[in-house]
A and B are shown apart, each in its own frame.
Chain A
Amino acid sequence: MSIPLIIQKLKAVGLKGRGGAEFPTWQKWLWVKQARAKKKFIVCNAAEGDPYSKKDGYLLNHFPEEVIKGIEIALRTIDNSQAFIYLRQDYYQKFRNKLIKLAKNLPIKIVKKRGGYLSGEETTLLNVIEGKEAQPRLRPPYPAQAGLWECPTLINNLETFYFVAKIYENKYKQTRFYTLSGKIKNPGVYQLPLNWTIQKILEQTNNLPKTDFFLQVGGIMGEIILSSETNKPLKGLGVIVVHSFQENPIKLMRGWADFFNHENCDRCTPCREGVFRIEEMIKKGKINFKELEDIFFVLKQTSLCPFGRMVPLPFESLIKKIILRKK
């Protein structure tokens, strides 16, 4: 089988998934394209569960035509396929009608997300669309092998589909969408070059704080970095949150712990119980670093899905770079 032109183009420009995992898009497309099955599915993921990210909403508001175009290209590339646009509740209310209109006769269904943050995770999303409990699935099989109703399924972030349309028209300029927030003057969503450093992004959007600061990059599960570490492009989810040293880092951790404790699926021991204990410790204001280290160890080593494995990163980097450094 020859490789379709669009997949060759995706490979040539090096497009990576914009949901945060940065998996090469062309590879997913090729797997699903080449999978042998009578029926295949495409999912456009606009769950946007990260509390700091706003770019999917921004794209739905300003560029829905391109998003539909991107899905249409996928539908044409992958035989016998059907598509779903998976929208978080507020986007569903706001954009459903507009998307139905734009989709015209294309086999695209608009579905509403159930559940919280985790329902944006790709295997959990499959369960939600199938009407099952919002819980992650064991991998393998991967969605490209057996996704929706056991059929090969291509799942891409909404922004990825937007750029597929651009690449198709040879109008892609190696950019991405960033959501900037926190202690800055001009928060918002910006389309900027991929290779800009975080420092340059803050400068060019006129968001560089006057006093020293630290940042969380890549979303609520992203790493904490110091202002001295901003001379590199952003990895993961396109989210930058700027914090000032006036803020209480414990309060910041408490916010994360609350969020993770509420948003996890409660299925595996380290995540269900470990995250609860992190929250408990922070709430009580008595942080036992030995205990934290143990919990982080099992979260990273033994969690069932990436969620649990990623929980320790923001805490560990904040503790190391900010809390312990202050002392």
Chain B
Amino acid sequence: MKIIIDGKSYLAKKGETILEVAQRNHLEIPALCYHSDLKIKSNCRLCLVEIRGRKGLFPSCSTIVEPGMEIITDSPRIRRARKINLELIFAQYREECQDCLWGFRCQLLNFARKYKIKIDRFEDRKKNYPVYQFGPAIIFDSSKCIDCRNCLEVCQKQGVGFLETKEKGAFFRIVPSSDKNKDCIYCGQCALHCPAGAFEGVGEFEEVEKPLKDKNKIVIFQYAPSIRTTIGEEFGFAYGKVLTNRLVAGIKKLGVDKVFDVSVGADFTTVEEAKELAERIEKKRDLPMFTSCCPSWVKFVEFYYPQFIPNLTTVRSPHIILGGLIKTYWAEKVKINPKKIIVVSIMPCLAKKYEITRNELFIQDKIKPVDYVLTTRELAYLFHRHQIDLRKIKPRKPDNPLGFPSGAGVIYGASGGVMESALRTLAKNITGKKLGKIKFKEVDGIKKARVKIGSRSLKIGVINGIGKAKEILEKLKINPSLFDYLEVMACWDGCIGGGGQPVPTNEEIRKKRAEGLRQIDKKKKVRIAQENPIVKKVYQEFLTEPDKIHSLCHTFYSHKPRVGFKILSANQKNNH
């Protein structure tokens, strides 16, 4: 059907909302609570428009188009209503722009400028609202909440429900649950879907900057597979743009000594995971095997479904393996005391901040494989703070002191990538041949396939989103033979949609980011992990004993008690 927006004709589909048509055609209508991943809530009341022939203002996010509808997106009345509602939103909100990661990408501030509002027209209603910290990963500053409830919905969609509403005085507030049967899994989808920056990772800038200035420390940054296709967004590049060399140049400019690619670590994860899968299939034990590179998924199993702990692969996640190899194999090679090495991982993820605190992962019970985790957003903030602009920087080739990753290592960042990498290796090991294209069938949001490797036909599944995973766990309780191998990532579309990625993130953006990673894989000559020369070399020179392999590449899991949250006073927060 045709509709008219501001005098111009546009095509619209039946059932679409005015806002959907407008956004598809890049017409700007301010909207804060709307997120294409979530249900329409229509509660911020900014996306107001007029419709010719009808009285009043209509929220474009919840008004369905009709043939010939004539929509006006700007008028004195619309401006007045948006302006007052924005002032009321700022009236509840405690601004802290100088410490905010969002900087120029902040929607709220952009709207404030556009509508020339007085952001301090009213006294901040929430100025005394508490700041919470969830485990070692997430800060929720409830004085920045604008009550859109996106966080509540994502948390429920994840099957976790750690965030709740609670009535206190005249208001409902968003609070972390006090229910002992609930715990946050640190997926960070709240942070990714919050339009106001009320959720962020526990900031580790100062801790990271200190060793950078310390001449006695060797600072190493390692970046996760997905960062190369997402960091550009923070500097105005197109979605999915691959910027590996600019990323490396930026990190180097911070004064970092060496830059490693976590995808190299992913190749080790793949080799070990393929071995473990072959073994479990052989012995018909603890199947289906679950991937474990996603710490939110691991925490979910440990806390909510401990009966499935044996199903998790014991292989460590890529950055933990690589961090361990840096502090052992590489340190030995270059003759540096591992205690002098500080490893910082750049991750798309908030849960990785939690993962590095798991002492099961410490090497010889004392050395942390990774010292700090910064998210994509935090790295961009660090760049901005050091006046490093990726648009202007001269790209640099990664020095990859340990060598280059295979294509398999790179696709770890997209949903299905971990499994595909492991199966490529498994196929090569068992049949000597390349794995054919996996033909997935998507049923109820779960990608399923049967993969023939030699004489065996494996039932595999790829899940992203814990809500879906929960459904499958319930089914596996009844029928454990539904799958042989399951990849689970907590975030929608995998790590490219991770809780530490740039805001905004939505389905369309995730697709473009994933496509970027797939392009890198296609261009790689080495696309199978165990064919990567560095992997071969390390196994020949260093990972020769089972004990050593075990201590660097494997871990264990256990039922964990609730960590819950603590209340911080405002000044206890780090750099936010």
Q: Are B42 and A138 in contact (CB under 8 A)?
A: yes
A261 at the A/B interface (Cβ < 8 Å)?
A: yes
Q: Are A301 and B56 in contact (CB under 8 A)?
A: yes
Q: Are A301 and B77 in contact (CB under 8 A)?
A: yes
Q: Are A304 and B122 in contact (CB under 8 A)?
A: no
A to B CB contacts below 8 Å, 19 in the list: A262-B170, A267-B147, A267-B149, A268-B42, A268-B44, A269-B88, A272-B171, A273-B88, A273-B91, A273-B125, A274-B88, A276-B170, A294-B84, A297-B80, A297-B84, A298-B45, A301-B48, A304-B42, A304-B45
B495 at the A/B interface (Cβ < 8 Å)?
A: no
Tell me the minimal C-beta distance from A159 to chain B in angstroms: 30
Q: Are A269 and B171 in contact (CB under 8 A)?
A: no
B357 at the A/B interface (Cβ < 8 Å)?
A: no
**Known: A138-B62, A277-B91, A302-B45. Contact between A266 and B171, CB under 8 A?**
yes
Tell me the minimal C-beta distance from A173 to chain B in angstroms: 37
Q: Are B172 and A266 in contact (CB under 8 A)?
A: yes
Closest to A300 in B: B56
Which residues of chain A from 270 to 327 have any CB-CB distance to chain B below 8 Å in the complex? 270, 272-274, 276-277, 279, 294-295, 297-298, 301-304
Q: Are B88 and A267 in contact (CB under 8 A)?
A: no
Query: 1/0 per residue B44-82: CB within 8 Å of A?
Result: 111010000000110100100000000000000100110
Q: Are A269 and B45 in contact (CB under 8 A)?
A: yes
**Known: A270-B88, A272-B171. Contact between A298 and B147, CB under 8 A?**
no
B165 at the A/B interface (Cβ < 8 Å)?
A: yes
Which of A265, A274, A277 counts the most chain B CB atoms within 10 A? A277
A133 at the A/B interface (Cβ < 8 Å)?
A: yes
Apart from A265-B172, A294-B84, what 7 extra A-B contacts exist at CB < 8 Å? A268-B42, A269-B85, A269-B89, A279-B170, A301-B77, A301-B81, A304-B43
CB-CB nearest 8 A-B residue pairs: A273-B88, A302-B45, A261-B170, A266-B172, A298-B84, A268-B43, A262-B170, A267-B43
Tell me the minimal C-beta distance from B87 to chain A in angstroms: 8
**A294 surroundings in chain B (CB, below 8 A):** 80, 84
Complex Cα gap A270–B87 (Å):
10
Closest to A294 in B: B84
Which residues of chain B from 141 to 177 have any CB-CB distance to chain A below 8 Å in the complex? 146-147, 149, 165, 170-172
Q: Are A266 and B147 in contact (CB under 8 A)?
A: yes
Interface size on B, residues (CB 8 A): 30
Option from A138, A262, A276 in Cβ contact (under 8 Å) with B125: A276
Which of B56, B88, B147 counts the most chain A CB atoms within 10 A? B88
Complex Cα gap A297–B59 (Å):
15
**B551 surroundings in chain A (CB, below 8 A):** none
Complex Cα gap A277–B77 (Å):
21
B92 at the A/B interface (Cβ < 8 Å)?
A: yes
Query: 1/0 per residue B116-131: CB within 8 Å of A?
Result: 0000001001000000
Tell me the minimal C-beta distance from B322 to chain A in angstroms: 45
B40 at the A/B interface (Cβ < 8 Å)?
A: yes
**B59 surroundings in chain A (CB, below 8 A):** 302, 304
Q: Are B80 and A269 in contact (CB under 8 A)?
A: no
Complex Cα gap A301–B59 (Å):
10
Complex Cα gap A265–B44 (Å):
13
Q: Are B147 and A272 in contact (CB under 8 A)?
A: yes
**A277 surroundings in chain B (CB, below 8 A):** 88, 91, 122
Tell me the minimal C-beta distance from B398 to chain A in angstroms: 47
Complex Cα gap A138–B39 (Å):
11
Closest to B165 in A: A133
**A301 surroundings in chain B (CB, below 8 A):** 48, 56-57, 77, 81
Query: 1/0 per residue A124-164: CB within 8 Å of B?
Result: 00000000010000100000000000000000000000000
Tell me the minimal C-beta distance from B406 to chain A in angstroms: 49
Complex Cα gap A51–B149 (Å):
30
Tell me the minimal C-beta distance from A306 to chain B in angstroms: 13
**B44 surroundings in chain A (CB, below 8 A):** 268-269
**A279 surroundings in chain B (CB, below 8 A):** 170
Query: 1/0 per residue B237-266: CB within 8 Å of A?
Result: 000000000000000000000000000000
Complex Cα gap A312–B347 (Å):
50
Option from A268, A273, A297, A304 in Cβ contact (under 8 Å) with B92: A273
Closest to B125 in A: A276
Q: Are A302 and B57 in contact (CB under 8 A)?
A: yes
Which of A138, A262, A295, A304 counts the most chain B CB atoms within 10 A? A138
**A272 surroundings in chain B (CB, below 8 A):** 147, 171
Option from A266, A273, A302 in Cβ contact (under 8 Å) with B89: A273
Which of B43, B57, B125, B147 counts the most chain A CB atoms within 10 A? B43
Tell me the minimal C-beta distance from B42 to chain A in angstroms: 6
Q: Are A302 and B88 in contact (CB under 8 A)?
A: no
Closest to A263 in B: B170
**B46 surroundings in chain A (CB, below 8 A):** 269
**B91 surroundings in chain A (CB, below 8 A):** 273, 277
**A276 surroundings in chain B (CB, below 8 A):** 125, 170-171
Q: Are A138 and B40 in contact (CB under 8 A)?
A: yes
Tell me the minimal C-beta distance from A274 to chain B in angstroms: 6
**B48 surroundings in chain A (CB, below 8 A):** 301-302
Query: 1/0 per residue B87-101: CB within 8 Å of A?
Result: 011011000000000
Complex Cα gap A268–B59 (Å):
11
**A269 surroundings in chain B (CB, below 8 A):** 43-46, 85, 88-89, 146-147
Tell me the minimal C-beta distance from B421 to chain A in angstroms: 43
**B170 surroundings in chain A (CB, below 8 A):** 261-262, 276, 279
Closest to A138 in B: B62
Which of B40, B85, B122 counts the most chain A CB atoms within 10 A? B85
Tell me the minimal C-beta distance from B62 to chain A in angstroms: 5
**B62 surroundings in chain A (CB, below 8 A):** 138
Closest to B88 in A: A273
Which of B41, B43, B84, B172 counts the most chain A CB atoms within 10 A? B84
Complex Cα gap A304–B46 (Å):
12
Tell me the minimal C-beta distance from B127 to chain A in angstroms: 13
**B84 surroundings in chain A (CB, below 8 A):** 270, 294-295, 297-298
Which residues of chain A from 248 to 274 have any CB-CB distance to chain B below 8 Å in the complex? 261-262, 265-270, 272-274
**B85 surroundings in chain A (CB, below 8 A):** 269-270, 298, 302
Which of A133, A265, A272, A294 counts the most chain B CB atoms within 10 A? A272
Complex Cα gap A42–B46 (Å):
36
Complex Cα gap A303–B88 (Å):
13
Closest to B48 in A: A302
Complex Cα gap A94–B57 (Å):
44
Closest to A277 in B: B122
Complex Cα gap A35–B436 (Å):
53
Tell me the minimal C-beta distance from A305 to chain B in angstroms: 10
Tell me the minimal C-beta distance from B295 to chain A in angstroms: 31
Q: Are A298 and B81 in contact (CB under 8 A)?
A: yes
Complex Cα gap A304–B148 (Å):
13
Complex Cα gap A297–B88 (Å):
13
Tell me the minimal C-beta distance from A216 to chain B in angstroms: 22
Tell me the minimal C-beta distance from B441 to chain A in angstroms: 29
Closest to A302 in B: B45
**B122 surroundings in chain A (CB, below 8 A):** 277
Which residues of chain B from 201 to 242 have any CB-CB distance to chain A below 8 Å in the complex? none
Closest to A139 in B: B62
Which residues of chain B from 537 to 563 have any CB-CB distance to chain A below 8 Å in the complex? none
Q: Are A298 and B171 in contact (CB under 8 A)?
A: no
**A303 surroundings in chain B (CB, below 8 A):** 45
Complex Cα gap A315–B43 (Å):
24
**B80 surroundings in chain A (CB, below 8 A):** 294, 297
